Amino acid sequence: MSASQEHLEKMQLRQNYRNLWHTDLMGTIQADTPYCCLALWCAPCISYLLRKRALYNDMTRYQCCAGYMPCSGRCGESRCPEFCLGTEVFLCFGNSVASTRFLLQDEFNIQTTQCDNCIIGFMFCLSQIACIFSIVAMIVGSEEIQQASQLLSCLSDMVYCSVCACMQTQHKIEMDRRDGKFGPQAMAVPQVQQMSRLDQPYPPNVGYAPQPAYGYPPPQGYPPQGYPPQGYAPQGYPPQGYPPQGYGK
């Protein structure tokens, strides 16, 4: 299986996640207006802080683009993770925001709503249209098309910056919930193996109420997990008649 096909399957798998963001993209401005404005004007710095916070301030967990890109793990992150993260947020800002988003989604089993998908899709489509108009204006040399191209490019940049600011505010609110900023802390730092993303088809629901598979309770008659205690044999063991009498004499 190629890496691109595997990545596509992971993207499709996120549509089957059960949990939702505590605030959708449309409500982030109202939910935390000051932080949204800060994310708009200081976007790379906010992206740096959010990624570090998503890793529970443990930079030994850091990988370039959170392990979602072919370059991940090959950029010397283990030797200087802070410098690598700073380079990522300034040179690959869009990827840094998306990687933090995927990190939180895979860790907490969060799906992306249709409204959020429409907003993100509109941002990408507008960027592509602006790029096409710029190429046409450069080839044709028409002043009218060039003006339209500049207008579309400006509009595309405004939408891009606004959506990224809303996404980063959404991530911040989610981690505020995780870290107990709105009540008692209910989530613990996951183990290192829980932070690996692409090799976990169904990541654990850290901090969320467990949901029974297919809505059915466990079959009756089965002992709970962790039973019997270590060092004790289960009831009925060893089987009757085993070992034979006189064995070991």
3-class secondary-structure state, position 67: helix
pLDDT of 46 over the 80 cut: yes
Distance CA 69, CA 66 (A): 8
pTM for the whole thing? 0.69
- More confident of the two residues 73 and 176: 176
Quote the distance between the C-alpha of residue 209 and its chain's center: 19
Residues 133, 169: Cα–Cα separation, whole Å:
31
Q: Which of 61-65, 73-77, 174-178, 239-243 has the lowest mean pLDDT?
A: 239-243
For 109, the token pair is 């089993």
Q: What is the structure's pLDDT at 4?
A: 59
Domain locations in the chain as residue ranges: 3-112+168-195
Q: What is the pLDDT, as a whole number, of residue 5?
A: 66
Q: Which two tokens stand for residue 219?
A: 């079959």
Cα–Cα distance, 94 to 115 (Å, whole number): 20
Q: Is the dihedral of CA 95, 97, 98, 102 positive or negative?
A: positive
Q: Which residue has the higher pLDDT, 124 or 15?
A: 124
Give the Cα separation of 197 and 98 in Å (integer): 14
Residue 19 bridge partners (DSSP): 110
Tokens of 35: 């932080």
Coil/strand/helix, residue 110: strand
For residue 182, what pLDDT is reported? 65
Q: What is the pLDDT of residues 115-139, one digit of tens each?
A: 888 999 999 999 999 889 889 988 9
On the question of pLDDT at 239 being above 50, the answer is no
The residue among 35, 18, 160, 180 whose CA lies nearest residue 97 is 160
Q: What is the pLDDT of residue 104?
A: 93
What pLDDT score was predicted for residue 143?
A: 84
- For 177-225, how does the pLDDT look when each residue is reduced to its tens digit (9 = 90+)? 998 876 554 444 555 434 444 444 444 444 444 444 444 444 444 444 5
Cβ contacts of 153 within 8 Å, gap of 6 or more = 130, 133, 134
Q: What does the pLDDT average to over 6-33? A: 83
Residues 104 and 19: their CA atoms lie apart, in Å, by 11
What are the pLDDT digits (tens) for 69-89?
877 878 888 889 999 999 999
Q: What is the per-residue pLDDT for 96?
A: 94
Asked whether the predicted pLDDT for residue 173 surpasses 70, the reply is yes
- 31 pLDDT band, cuts 50/70/90, is very high
Q: What letters, b where the CB count within 10 A reaches 16 and e where it falls short, cover 112-148? A: beeebeebbeebeebbeebeebbeebeeeeeeebbeb
Answer yes or no: is pLDDT of 91 > 50: yes
pLDDT in the model for residue 184: 53
Structure token digits, residue 70: 């072919």
Q: Which residue has the higher pLDDT, 147 or 225?
A: 147
